[in-house]
Chains A and B, each alone.
Chain A
């Protein structure tokens, strides 16, 4: 599986501010995704990060709130904008490799607390 890192691993932020989360993979991957896992819940897909074009957002998630960049095949960022306490969650990036099957592998996650 690919080695995936995320920065920061955790953060505590004030209401109304923004946080950018970075996801770095050690090899080129075709697909990168961003998920949210709220406390005690399962994973919800926020968007697919498309290399060189705008991300594809799932229902209930919008670009103004969660802008995403993917400048190349190994790196992506997710920004959580104008944060409120409801944004407190774990944010995870995942990847599917360029070679291989359908499998998705997850990064270690970013634990965000908004006060």
Chain B
């Protein structure tokens, strides 16, 4: 089992729809969870982080964490073509190492 797993996609949604990105992790002791957005040819950009169970909202983005299920998700409301990118889920292990999933490619169609 991979330490951090994401659906590779591509995930295609129409403009204005909600995009839902999912991530599971294996280290039950993990406490910090991050979502990065990476445009083609660019470096990862931190867009959300969440440390507690539940939802965290920031503008059009909502991160959801369920530690019992070892599951973290990112919802993007009112998706825009500019949201088209690869979204990387990252989990900080008990040892403090940031472990990345393979990334989910999102395509928002006008």
Contact = CB atoms under 8 A, between A and B. Distances in A.
Interface of A: 1, 33, 41-45, 58, 90, 92, 94, 101-109
The 6 A-B residue pairs with the shortest CB-CB distance in the complex, in nearest-first order: A106-B43, A102-B32, A109-B43, A42-B100, A43-B100, A42-B102
A91 B98 CA distance: 16
B34 A108 contact: no
Contacts, number: 45
- Report, as a range, how many residues of chain B touch the other chain: 20 to 34
A30 B63 CA distance: 26
Interface string B12-46: 00000000000000000000101010000011111
Interface of B: 32, 34, 36, 42-46, 49, 51, 88, 90, 92, 97-103
9 contacts: A42-B103, A45-B98, A90-B43, A92-B43, A92-B44, A102-B92, A104-B46, A106-B36, A107-B43
A48 B42 CA distance: 22
A101 B36 CA distance: 16
A96 B18 CA distance: 31
A44 B44 CA distance: 13
A45 B95 CA distance: 13
A90 B38 CA distance: 13
Give the one of A33, A43, A58, A90 with max B CB within 10 A.
A43
A109 B45 CA distance: 12
A105 B45 CA distance: 7
Given A42-B102, A43-B100, A102 B49 contact: yes
Contact of A108 (B43, B51, B100, B102): B43
